[in-house]
Amino acid sequence: MVFENIELPITDLPDFKTVNLNGVEKSYKKIIWINTALIFLLLFAAPIVFLILDFLPIWIPITVLTIVSVIFTFQAIEIEKGFPRKKFGIRQHDIIYQNGYFYFKEIVVPFNRIQHVEVKQGPLSRIFKLYALKLYTAGASSGDLVINGLSKDNAQKLKSKVLAKTSDIDE
Amino acid sequence: MSDFDFSVPRRQSFNGVFLIFLADLVKRIRQNIYLLAVPFFKQNLMQDYGLYIYLGLALLLVIQFVYSYLSYLKFQFSIQEDAFHLDHGVIKLSHVEIPFERIQNINLQQNILQQVFNVVGFEIETAGEGTAEIKIKALENNFAKALKNKLIEEKKRAKNEDVNESQDSETKATTSDEVSEHAESEEKSLLFQLSFSRLLKVGVSSNFLKGLGLLFAFFAYVYNFIMDFLSNIYDIDFDEDFKNRIPETLSFVVIMIFGLFILGFLITILMTILKYFNLKIVKNQQNYEVDYGLFKRVNKVIKKSKTQIFEIETNPLKKFFKINNIYVSQAASNQVTEKQKIGLVGVSTDNINTLFNSIYDLKLPEQKFDRLQSQPRLIFRYLYRNLILLAVLGGLAYIFYFNWLSVSTIVFIAIVLAYVIQLKVKKSYIGFNQDLICVGGGSIHTNTKFIEIHKLQSVHLKRNIFQQNNNHADLVLETASGTVTIEYLKVKSANDIFNYLIYKIESTDKDWI
């Protein structure tokens, strides 16, 4: 059977699924919606303008509109269904983050592999007083972890916790 | 051995002036290649302004030479007490200092130009951000070697001092490393040298689809270029003309395809020979030095601590010849591409075991892995992807050339694809034990990647909407030289191995580099 080679029984290992996770701030959903709306406004505007001006054969803008609408529907489902899944949690030795509806992703980054930590704030999140925590690991950027939509308190707390743990291990 | 005084700032080898000039010139031409198109837009350009153009070009050439000469003069390096110093820049002067302990690798290489001028290129790789790298284009061969030895010596000394100063702190792995390094120092033994007949076998057993792809790309490029050129001048649509003349006889097509395959096969062999000519693996203390290439001689160092992924590749033909390829990926600041992997081709199983043993301190034949197989449902994922290809091919055939030949070709392709997919799914697995993970992959060929568990950076579990319903998950492993994904594991066992890997990473005191 699987796991017969291991020095300790698998059931004794801490399971990351059992950790209580915290959701990100509710107002972050507004930011996502604003960003999405801005992009799709442009995407919808272009074919509609062409439809009115009548430059191109009519089926081209209609097809584009249909495709954009389908993508928009999926995006809307992703935001609405996916938002409650954006959750993070902290354990003694690592940080856990999960997100995504169509692609559900769960990430665990051990503190002893974190290179450095950044707290960031974009222009939109400044209005909503939200922060993003960026955790860098060595190697490809796909291994980095970004947690968006944190309150200032949470962001600072997480950052100091991560820093304390990483330097702890360094010494 | 060092009859050179490295503390005096020096320049590159004098031949370097020409090398730098030529390299700069090529760079300039490449930057301004679009200017070549100008004569096509303006007729009679050469008659009207020919003299000025030649004069201008000559002037630019002189300026470029002066600039290259100045940059040669300003490029000065020396070894001071604590670091390697380098001054360079013509207009903007810059000074770079590399402390010895930050030097990771020193590579020597010789491309064809450097061979003509009888100089070698010298490259210092450092840990951390990939930007702090030093490239010296032209050094005399024996000087480069002396410099390399000197730097390695200094680096070792810097490391020793470091250890002495902080004796009370944990001196864990580094000291034991140091001790064994000293015990074994001076020892430089040839582990493996690739003979020509073996290299030929490597070429023959390589995946010749790569060569075929290259050939197609080349033909497409040449075809486009010539057509553009000709139709610009003669204002004729060659495309139509050409298509009308294709003899639609079966034999022509068959010969074409057959010829292309043979050519692709030959090109692959040739490329392999050029790339890996006279491959040498030399054990130098704890590390391995690898040299290969005919025109472009590459010298790379495999460092134990920097090694992240150890990949063994074989295929039925290679098994018959009893050869294997190894690809070693070292830590880098971005995803390691196929090109950056250090390829050790044509090695025997014994060689693999020796290398494996000295990189991981473990014996490969003794490794027993618990395996988790990718689930058969993965077949559907690959099928969907290839279905698009087949649909496109089918559509094209239907529109242009619908008869028994095109139908049977597509059926044939579909059968081959189905076979390859079935192999791919069967060969995809993850195995693990106390120290290592091994990840299987490949279709007709088989590759096995070995990763030490403590070298993982983070672990992901990914499930798309279908997998969420049918209880499967993709396991994604992040390392310092790229991402490794194992698709379609059962969610329960993926979870278990996830927990196990995280537990192992967190309970080790070993570092990833």
* Residue B368 sits at the chain A interface (C-beta within 8 Å): yes
Given the structure tokens 């994922």, which residue do they identify? Answer: B381
Residue B321, number of CB atoms within 10 A of its CB: 17
- Between the alpha carbon of residue B409 and those of residues B72, B423, B437, the distances in Å are 60, 21, 41
- Whether residue A2 is contained in a domain is answered as no
- Between the alpha carbon of residue B376 and those of residues A155, B425, B429, the distances in Å are 43, 7, 11
Looking at residue B513, its pLDDT comes to 75
Number of domains within chain A: 2
Q: Contact A50/A56 with Cβ under 8 angstroms?
A: yes
Q: Residue B180 pLDDT > 50, yes or no?
A: no
Using alpha carbons, select from B145, B182, B144, B149 the residue that is nearest to residue B163: B182
| C-alpha to C-alpha distance for B478 and B455, rounded to whole angstroms | 9
pTM, entire model: 0.71
B56 band by pLDDT with thresholds 50, 70 and 90: confident
Which residues, 6+ apart, have CB-to-CB distance to B425 below 8 Å? B374, B376, B378, B379, B382
- Whether residue A4 is contained in a domain is answered as no
Residues A106 and A162 both lie in one domain: yes
Q: From chain A, which residues contact B within 8 Å (Cβ)?
A: 2-7, 10, 13-17, 93-94, 101-113, 137-143, 145
- The strand pair at B83-88 and B94-99 is best described as antiparallel
Residue B387, number of CB atoms within 10 A of its CB: 14
Residues A99 and A162 both lie in one domain: yes
> What are the two backbone dihedrals, phi and then psi, of residue B87, each rounded to the nearest 5 degrees?
-110, 135
Q: Residue B489 pLDDT > 90, yes or no?
A: yes
Least confident range from B60-64, B73-77, B395-399: namely: B395-399
- Whether residue A18 is contained in a domain is answered as no
Sign of CA dihedral A39, A41, A44, A46: negative
Final residue belonging to a domain, choices A82, A98, A124: A82
Residues A76 and A121 both lie in one domain: no
Looking at residue A76, its pLDDT comes to 95
Q: For residue range B94-138, list pLDDT tens digits in order.
A: 887 777 877 777 888 887 778 888 888 888 876 654 444 678 888
> What are the two backbone dihedrals, phi and then psi, of residue B503, each rounded to the nearest 5 degrees?
-60, -45
Q: Contact B289/B297 with Cβ under 8 angstroms?
A: no
Least confident range from B187-191, B439-443, B478-482: namely: B187-191
Given the structure tokens 């329960």, which residue do they identify? Answer: B492
Looking at residue B428, its pLDDT comes to 94
- Whether residue A6 is contained in a domain is answered as no
The mean per-residue pLDDT over the stretch A51-67 comes to: 86
Q: Share the mean pLDDT of chain A.
A: 86
> H or E stretch including B475?
strand B472-479
- A14·B499 Cβ contact <8 A: yes
Residues A40 and A90 both lie in one domain: no
Which position has the higher pLDDT, B217 or B454?
B454
Q: Residue B141 pLDDT > 80, yes or no?
A: yes
Token digits for B187? 């020892």
Check which CATH number belongs to the domain holding A130 and give it. Answer: 2.30.29.30
Q: For residue range A94-135, list pLDDT tens digits in order.
A: 899 999 999 999 999 998 888 888 888 888 888 999 999 988
- Whether residue A147 is contained in a domain is answered as yes
Residues A130 and A159 both lie in one domain: yes
Buried/exposed code over B34-57 (b: 16+ C-beta within 10 A; e: otherwise)? eeeeeeeeeeeeeeeeeeeeeeee
Least confident range from B284-288, B327-331, B340-344: namely: B284-288
Residues A77 and A99 both lie in one domain: no
Q: Is B95 left (phi over 0), alpha (psi -120 to 50) or beta?
A: beta
Final residue belonging to a domain, choices A66, A82, A98: A82
The mean per-residue pLDDT over the stretch B258-285 comes to: 85
- How far off is chain A from B505, nearest CA to CA, in Å? 7
Token digits for B91? 């207009």
Looking at residue B242, its pLDDT comes to 52
Looking at residue B303, its pLDDT comes to 85
Of all residues in chain A, the one with the smallest CA distance to B128 is A138
**Nearest CB partner across the interface for B500, out of A13, A106, A139:** A13
Looking at residue B463, its pLDDT comes to 94
- How far off is chain A from B418, nearest CA to CA, in Å? 27
- Whether residue A159 is contained in a domain is answered as yes
B52 band by pLDDT with thresholds 50, 70 and 90: confident
Which position has the higher pLDDT, A44 or B240?
A44
Which residues, 6+ apart, have CB-to-CB distance to A69 below 8 Å? none
Residues A121 and A136 both lie in one domain: yes
Residues A97 and A129 both lie in one domain: yes
Of all residues in chain A, the one with the smallest CA distance to B458 is A109
Looking at residue B1, its pLDDT comes to 46
Q: Chains A and B: how many Cβ contacts under 8 Å?
A: 114
Residues A96 and A166 both lie in one domain: yes
Given the structure tokens 């079966």, which residue do they identify? Answer: B250
The mean per-residue pLDDT over the stretch B219-246 comes to: 62
- Whether residue A17 is contained in a domain is answered as no
Q: Contact B449/B311 with Cβ under 8 angstroms?
A: yes
Looking at residue B114, its pLDDT comes to 82
Q: For residue range B381-432, list pLDDT tens digits in order.
A: 988 888 888 888 778 777 776 677 777 878 888 898 889 999 999 999 999 8
| C-alpha to C-alpha distance for B55 and B49, rounded to whole angstroms | 10
> Helix (H) and strand (E) counts for chain B?
16, 20
Using alpha carbons, select from B300, B284, B304 the residue that is nearest to residue B341: B300
| C-alpha to C-alpha distance for B298 and B313, rounded to whole angstroms | 21
Percent of chain B with pLDDT over 70: 83
Looking at residue B51, its pLDDT comes to 81
Of all residues in chain B, the one with the smallest CA distance to A105 is B462
- A139·B500 Cβ contact <8 A: no
| C-alpha to C-alpha distance for B245 and A41, rounded to whole angstroms | 50
Residues A159 and A92 both lie in one domain: yes
Q: Residue B331 pLDDT > 60, yes or no?
A: yes
Looking at residue B243, its pLDDT comes to 53
Q: Which residues does chain A have within 8 Å of residue B458's beta carbon, measured at their own beta carbons?
A: 107-110, 113, 137, 143, 145
- B459·A140 Cβ contact <8 A: no
Integer distance in angstroms from the first to the last C-alpha of chain B? Answer: 31
- Whether residue A13 is contained in a domain is answered as no
Final residue belonging to a domain, choices A44, A65, A82: A82
Least confident range from B45-54, B413-422, B482-491: namely: B45-54
Residues A56 and A119 both lie in one domain: no
Given the structure tokens 């050439």, which residue do they identify? Answer: B61
Of all residues in chain A, the one with the smallest CA distance to B367 is A5
- What range does the domain containing A61 cover? 27-82
Residues A62 and A125 both lie in one domain: no
Q: For residue range B251-260, list pLDDT tens digits in order.
A: 676 777 788 8
Which residues, 6+ apart, have CB-to-CB distance to A66 below 8 Å? none
- Between the alpha carbon of residue B157 and those of residues B286, B288, B441, the distances in Å are 16, 20, 43
